[in-house]
């Protein structure tokens, strides 16, 4: 077990007693020496500006060590500390001045870098009278001072008037700068005192800053009211736009439904007209065939004309089966397909023709009034009905069948 080289007391450390800076520039570690002395040190590659006061970490170590309500001291190694951020200063000020720790007997700084001396003096100027804040040259002196404070209490300062006033002046400047205390009364020395102009100037600065803060607050309140009204107006406009958009969507859906009904009616009328026309055309073609048959013309010529009429009749019959207009080539393909696969129904014949014509599954599904998934199921069943192997393409087969039909 590690022991303190000065007191011989055991040194306790735990993994959770470490604070890691968010930018990973440094870490602050707390160890307990003996029962009631906490040792803070900063680990970094170069001197750093501390950005977050480790008050929560100190409270956790105090709690874990059973020191709540019991006297303890802090030794702070400042070897790698070049300065404090404003946020850190505010945290230190709150810890020492606004919410002082009655159980904290003393804080000892050691290994203070030259650039940090003024900041250390500011910290000492706001330390409560119940706590000693001491400077030491090294670890040994710091430990001896902490042990003496724990045993005998804070040493008497015996300061003369000038150092005392200097400390008060520095404390007033620190409270104004770090804690924004712009309304706390500054105790002035007598008007004839040589330091009166300095304290008076500080009091005037404090008053000016307080007035500026009031102006800033009034402007902030004005802007809040202004932006509040603008936000309310924008919310009203947004609400109106949302209502208008909902109405537009409703109107759009209504128009879409109406158009769908109109389209359905037109489609039905077209189908009826097509059916009537198809029936008339079939009758006309049959009459034409009968008329040609009775013509007294060249036998070969009559045979060719009747063949054309029969092809037209076959195309007509195929169109009626699949409800699609057909070319003679398409009709021949369907006739050949029916002869080769008589087990295919009308819908399957239509789908085979559309596949041969390179329609996509989506287009065929829409044309046939089925879902895409339903189309995939029908295509799978057709593949089996026709007797194709798994690795055979239905499209390729139908294309080859169309070619062989001629």
What pLDDT shows up at residue 276?
47
Percent of the chain with pLDDT over 90: 47
Residues 34-47, buried b or exposed e (16+ Cβ, 10 A)? bebbbbbbbebeeb
- Reduced 3-state DSSP string for the chain: CCECCCCCCEEECCCCCEEECCCCCEEEEEEEECCCEEEEEEEECCCEEECCCCHHHHHHHHHHCCCCCCCEEEEEECCCEEEECHHHHHHHHHHHHHCCCCCEEEEEEECCCHHHHHHHHHHHHCCCCCCEEEEECCHHHHHHHHHHHHHHCCCCCCCCHHHHHHHHHHHHHHHHHHHCCCCCCCCCCCCCCCCHHHHHHHHHHHHHHHHHHHHHHHHHHHHHHHHHHHHHHHHHHHHHHHHHHHHHHHHHHHHHHHHHHHHHHHHHHHHHHHHHHHHHHHHHHHHHHHHHHCCCCCHHHHHHHHHHHHHHHHHHHHHHHHCCCCCHHHHHHHHHHHHHCCCCCHHHHHHHHHHHCCCCHHHHHHHHCCCHHHHHHHHHHHHHHHCCCCCCCHHHHHHHHHHHCC
Mean local confidence (pLDDT), 298-327: 66
What pLDDT shows up at residue 192?
87
Mean local confidence (pLDDT), 182-205: 90
Q: Which residues contact 108 (CB under 8 A, 6 or more apart)?
A: 73, 74, 75, 76, 133, 134, 135, 136, 142, 145, 146, 149
Q: Between the ranges 148-157, 204-213, 275-284, 358-367, where is the mean pLDDT highest?
A: 204-213
What pLDDT shows up at residue 272?
52
* Domains along the sequence of the chain with CATH: 11-153+161-181 (3.30.750.24), 321-404 (1.10.10)
What pLDDT shows up at residue 277?
46
Q: Which two tokens stand for residue 214?
A: 């009031």
The Cα-based distances of 230 to 68, 225, 237, 314, 346 in angstroms read: 52, 9, 10, 76, 67
What pLDDT shows up at residue 366?
80
Q: Which two tokens stand for residue 64?
A: 């874990």
Mean local confidence (pLDDT), 210-230: 93
What pLDDT shows up at residue 114?
92
Question: CA angle at residue 376 from 374 to 379, to 5 degrees?
Answer: 110
What pLDDT shows up at residue 146?
94
Mean pLDDT of the chain: 86
Mean local confidence (pLDDT), 172-184: 91
pTM: 0.56
Tell me: the pLDDT tens digits for 137-165? 999 999 999 999 988 876 666 668 888 89
Tell me: the pLDDT tens digits for 58-84? 999 999 999 999 999 999 999 999 999
Percent of the chain with pLDDT over 70: 87
């Amino acid at each position: 077990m590690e022991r303190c080289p000065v007191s011989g007391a055991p040194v306790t450390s735990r993994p959770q007693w470490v604070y890691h800076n968010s930018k990973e520039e440094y870490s602050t570690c707390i160890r307990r020496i003996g029962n009631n002395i906490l040792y803070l040190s900063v680990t970094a590659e170069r001197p750093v500006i501390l950005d977050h006061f480790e008050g929560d970490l100190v409270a956790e170590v105090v709690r874990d060590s059973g020191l709540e309500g019991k006297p303890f001291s802090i030794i702070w190694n400042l070897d790698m500390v070049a300065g404090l951020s404003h946020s850190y200063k505010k945290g230190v000020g709150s810890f020492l001045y606004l919410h002082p720790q009655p159980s904290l007997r003393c804080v000892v700084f050691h290994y203070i870098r030259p650039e940090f001396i003024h900041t250390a003096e500011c910290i000492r100027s706001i330390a409560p009278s119940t706590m000693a804040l001491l400077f030491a040259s090294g670890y040994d002196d710091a430990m001896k001072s902490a042990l003496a404070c724990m045993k005998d209490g804070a040493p008497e300062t015996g300061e003369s008037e000038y150092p005392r006033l200097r400390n008060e002046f520095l404390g007033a400047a620190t409270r104004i700068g770090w804690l924004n205390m712009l309304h706390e009364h500054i105790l002035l020395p007598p008007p004839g005192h040589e330091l009166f102009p300095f304290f008076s100037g500080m009091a005037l600065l404090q008053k000016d800053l307080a007035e500026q803060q009031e102006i800033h607050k009034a402007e902030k309140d004005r802007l809040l009211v202004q932006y509040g009204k603008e936000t309310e107006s924008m919310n009203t406009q947004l609400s109106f736009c949302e209502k208008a958009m909902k109405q537009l969507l409703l109107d759009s859906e209504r128009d879409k439904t109406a158009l769908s009904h109109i389209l359905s009616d037109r489609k039905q009328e077209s189908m009826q007209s097509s059916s009537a026309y198809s029936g008339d055309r079939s009758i006309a073609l049959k009459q034409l065939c009968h008329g040609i048959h009775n013509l007294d013309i060249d036998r070969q010529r009559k045979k060719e004309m009747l063949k054309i009429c029969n092809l037209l009749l076959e195309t007509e019959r195929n169109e009626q089966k699949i409800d699609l207009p057909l070319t003679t080539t398409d009709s021949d393909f369907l006739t050949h397909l029916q002869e080769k696969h008589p087990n295919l129904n009308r819908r399957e014949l239509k789908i085979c023709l559309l596949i041969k014509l390179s329609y996509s599954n989506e287009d065929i599904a829409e044309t046939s009034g089925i879902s895409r998934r339903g189309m995939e199921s029908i295509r799978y069943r057709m593949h089996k009905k026709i007797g194709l192997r798994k690795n055979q393409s239905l499209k390729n087969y139908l294309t080859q069948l169309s070619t062989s039909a001629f």
